[in-house]
A = this chain, B = another copy of it.
Amino acid sequence: MTPATAETFDTALGSVASDVEAMLDRLLPRVEGPEAQLAEAVRYAALGGGKRFRPFLAVQSASLFGVAAEPALRVAAAAECVHIYSLVHDDLPCMDDDDLRHGAPSVHRKYDEATAILAGDALLTLAFEILADPETHERARVRIELVRRLAHASGAHGMVGGQIIDLTSEGRELDMGGITRLQQLKTGALISFSCEAGAILGRASPEALHALHAYAHDLGLAYQIADDILDAEGDAATMGKTTGKDAAAGKATFVSILGLDRARAQARMLADQAVQHLDLFDERADLLRQAARFVITRRK
């Protein structure tokens, strides 16, 4: 493994972020007339910042298999649309009730609740429209496999399932197994999709697909443990969102179950394990290796 420096990682992450934002700008609705408010809210939600970590994973996994920039960025944009929709709905008063996202008013505070719900609905729908478009891949078989996997990762057996567990677990005791499953559904499934999508686009071998799945599994959990650590330690000014809410709501987190020290050790262990799953790839996987380091050292 050629060690990529933290600097090259940050540059690569920023570069994918600006590429996927340009792609989103192309793909998001730009409507005049009476439905303009929807398009504005969708654009406000989608173009207001964020690490674009899922797009980064999709683009890097695609690069392992020589996938061209355009299809990789389209799939990256689709994954990001699903991520953003989930944030917009999660921020609603009846869910996490967050007024702040990326340091700015959340969509329902900037517009209103109805517009936020519809903007989320539009973003979820757009993700599938992007994947179904022939510009994403010339082969229908590849496009439909992406649709199938994204739908599974996002729905009742994936992200939405995780969200309902999260909402209904307040006040209930979740153990390590319970919270691991919650997070695998709520955030892990979409992270897995992002890592696997590049392999699907690149028509990779089952072994390569399996390796990326295993990488994503450990990376996703490490990411979430780090998130809980940041939430427990962090302040809103750095994070750009309200922090310490989980503890206030009496929700179990990896930190509340393991304590800070063991949570940090667990995140490191998972990050190391994630890197090991990439052993069959050459130095083209170095940025994915660096990503495992990034998730446990990031400050927001």
Contacts and interface: CB of A to CB of B under 8 A. Distances in A.
B140 A152 contact: no
Contact of A133 (B133, B148, B182): B148
A125 B154 contact: yes
A260 interface: no
Contact of A121 (B42, B124, B143): B124
Interface stretch (A30-38, A99-107, A220-228): A30-38
In the complex, the 4 A-B pairs of residues with the closest C-beta atoms, listed nearest first: A129-B151, A125-B155, A94-B113, A132-B148
21 contacts: A29-B161, A31-B157, A31-B161, A34-B164, A35-B156, A35-B165, A35-B168, A38-B160, A89-B121, A115-B167, A117-B117, A118-B163, A122-B155, A124-B125, A125-B156, A125-B160, A126-B151, A128-B128, A128-B147, A129-B148, A132-B145
Given A29-B161, A118-B164, A126-B156, 17 more contacts: A29-B156, A31-B161, A34-B168, A35-B161, A35-B185, A38-B156, A38-B160, A95-B117, A117-B117, A118-B167, A124-B124, A124-B125, A129-B152, A132-B147, A133-B148, A140-B141, A140-B144
